[in-house]
Structure 1
Amino acid sequence: MAFAKLIIPFILVSLLVLHQVQAVQTNHQLASNAVSNTGYGPKMDCGAACAGRCQLSSRPRLCKRACGTCCVRCNCVPPGTSGNYEACPCYASLTTHGNRRKCP
């Protein structure tokens, strides 16, 4: 009889621990997916990369703002001051509501 009274709390505690372990694993998987979706390797210095990209722009503030947004999303900026989109496909694929290229 005493054994039967101990089984129910033991099952409840076991289920609680199992639930916590699954929650931790799910959070770990979500975090690793977020890192893998942002680009390759460590975060790049978007400010410096966009300053180089926008140095010849007629509207440097607008260029740096758009470039910064794209850089944060893609974690890459194509080399040079224009073009070279093949070096960063994510950067090239971002568009505005009017289907124009968002990233300079």
Structure 2
Amino acid sequence: MKLVFATLSIVFLVLASSLVHPCMAISDAIKPNSSLDCDSKCGVRCSKSGHDRCLTFCLKCCLKCNCVPSGTYGNKHECPCYRDMMNSKGNPKCP
């Protein structure tokens, strides 16, 4: 009986460990920017503006560029990708 229990325990552990990696991959796919907190960075960036629209575009830019310039305005030289993104009219996309 002990041998059966030990064997089943080992099989269960092997199966459980094989499921850990796919779950972690799904988690990474949902939130690709774990090193940068876009919500808080964009919250600071958009604190003095029309908050909803600014946040929407800031979050899009942050997720794509993986950076947000400091302050509430300017400093775009800190993040060239953020600075160089344009909308369809040729205007800066990122606030």
Q: TM-score, normalised by structure 2?
A: 0.64
Runs of 4+ in 1 over 6 A off after TM superposition: none
Q: Pick from 46, 53, 58 the counterpart of residue 45 of structure 2.
A: 53
Residues 17-74 of structure 1 show CA distances to partners (whole Å, capped at 9, x for unaligned) of xxxxxxxxxxxxxxxxxxxxx9xx96300000000000000x1000000000000000
Q: TM-score, normalised by structure 1?
A: 0.58
State, as a whole percentage, how many aligned pairs show the same letter: 41
List runs of 5+ in structure 2 lacking aligned partners: 1-31
List runs of 5+ in structure 1 lacking aligned partners: 1-37
Q: Helix, strand or coil: the match of 2:91?
A: coil
Q: Are 1:43 and 2:35 matched, yes or no?
A: yes
Q: Pick from 74, 88, 91 the counterpart of residue 83 of structure 1.
A: 74
Equivalent positions of 1:5-84 (< 5 A) are 43-57=35-49, 59-84=50-75
| Cα distance in structure 2, aligned partners of 1:42 and 1:66 | 19
Q: Choose 1 or 2 for highest CA Rg.
A: 1
Cα RMSD of the aligned pairs, angstroms, is 1.7
